[in-house]
Structure 1
Amino acid sequence: MPNVAGRFGRLGWLWLSVLVLVIDQASKYYFESSLTMYQQIVVIPDYFSWTLAYNTGAAFSFLADSSGWQRWLFALIAVVVSGVLVVWLKRLGRDETWLAVALALVLGGALGNLYDRIALGHVIDFILVHWQNRWYFPAFNFADSAITVGAVMLALDMFKSKKTGEAVHD
């Protein structure tokens, strides 16, 4: 991707957010139309399966048992965070590609889950990581993965900034 700066900052990286959104929604559509609720298709025995689960809460089903108000709270938070991320992207300089990619990943993931929350009232999850039948990580989706990778990149950028006094650059 060529450097995009000036008036639009690094908004050229929004293509990555759109790509994350498209892959997220396509994968959710596929698994929702292919699996029944909580059905598991083992990919790697004892470690990895496809499944179908709905999450009305936030990460790790936080507030999932609430009466429904959490849908709009989490949607509002996602809208505000998305707006902040777009403004942040716009203000980045040419040499801040690492940070632009991180923000674009988080934005794409946030928009993917936001769409589910508003359109469906829940987020579709389909990735299940586990160890035998003893331990299960909560089901998640492609958007969650993009958010996590982007957040780790942001954290690495902050740690690098503290250590050297400047941000991670190209």
Structure 2
Amino acid sequence: MTGSRRIAAFAGVAACAVALDQVSKAWAREALAGGPVPFIPGVLDFSLIMNTGAAFSIGSGSTWVFVVLAVAICLGLAIWVAREHEMPASLVCALGAVAGGGVGNLIDRVAAGRVTDFFCTTFIDFPVFNVADIFVTCGVVIAFVLAWRWDVAREAGDDSDAANAASNAENTREEN
């Protein structure tokens, strides 16, 4: 995958995550203003919560700390994707999901000083969350697995993923 394609894939996944997150939050603010709505009885409700903290409401009131942290992480991920010529496309997309989720919550923090959460589990006591949180959490888990697999493949030196990554890197150098 060329450098421009890596960046395009990363940005495309991030943009989709941001769009889905922002549309779902706009819906939640409108549809749930009157109170919680059962979705899957005994499992999941939609309940509007405005959160000034992070996960589990940690750091409530520290909006600007979270803004700076989100910007730094998203920029770091973008730089990593841009510079790592052998990065598999699947890892690029997972990192795009993390960045997109981060930007989705960043938009809320900058625009309103708080994040719109609305998925409320009813079968266990768990914090209320949103679509951006899902992208961040799933993206991080998938990225860790893919990065580990990629690292193992590079160390083995004979895995098809490593060979494909090396071939892609060579093609990138030839195109540039």
TM-score range, shorter chain: 0.7 to 0.9
**Aligned residue number for residue 26 of structure 2:** 29
The equivalences for 1:21-170 within 5 A come to: 21-36=18-33, 39-64=35-60, 68=61, 70-93=62-85, 96-131=88-123, 135-161=124-150, 163-164=152-153, 165=155, 169=161
Structure 1 unaligned spans of 5+ = none
TM-score in terms of structure 2 length = 0.81
Aligned residue runs from structure 1 range 7-26, under 5 A: 8=4, 10-13=6-9, 14-26=11-23
Whole-angstrom CA distance in 1 between matches of 2:54 and 2:45: 21
Higher-Rg structure is 2
Q: Tell me: CA distance 1:91–1:168, structure 2 relative to 1, closer, same or farther (3 Å).
A: farther
- Percent identical: 32
Cα distance in 2 for residues equivalent to 1:44 and 1:115 = 29
Report how many residues are paired.
158
What amino acid is aligned across from residue 26 of structure 1 in structure 2? V
Is the deviation greater in 85-94 or in 25-34? 85-94
- Of stretches 158-167 and 116-125 in structure 1, the one that deviates more from structure 2 is 158-167
Quote the offset at 1:57 in angstroms.
0.5
Contact map agreement 1:9 1:89 (CA 8 A) in 2? no
Q: Distance in 2 between matches of 1:168 and 1:82?
A: 29
Distance in 2 separating the partners of 1:116 and 1:168:
42
> What is the aligned partner in structure 1 of residue 168 from structure 2?
none
**How far is the alpha carbon of 1:35 from its aligned partner?**
1.1
Q: Which of the two has greater helix per residue? A: 2
For the residues of structure 2 that align with 1:19 and 1:51, how far apart are their CA atoms? 24
- Partner SS, residue 27 of structure 1: helix
Say if 1:11 and 1:90, in contact at 8 Å, map to a contact too.
Answer: yes
Structure 1 position 85, deviation (Å):
1.1
TM-score (normalised: structure 1): 0.84
* Alignment match, 2:169: none
What is the alpha-carbon distance in structure 1 between the residues aligned to residue 160 and residue 48 of structure 2?
A: 38
Indicate the SS of the match to 1:136: coil
* Cα distance between partner residues in 1 of 2:18 and 2:143: 19
Q: Aligned letter for 2:82?
A: K
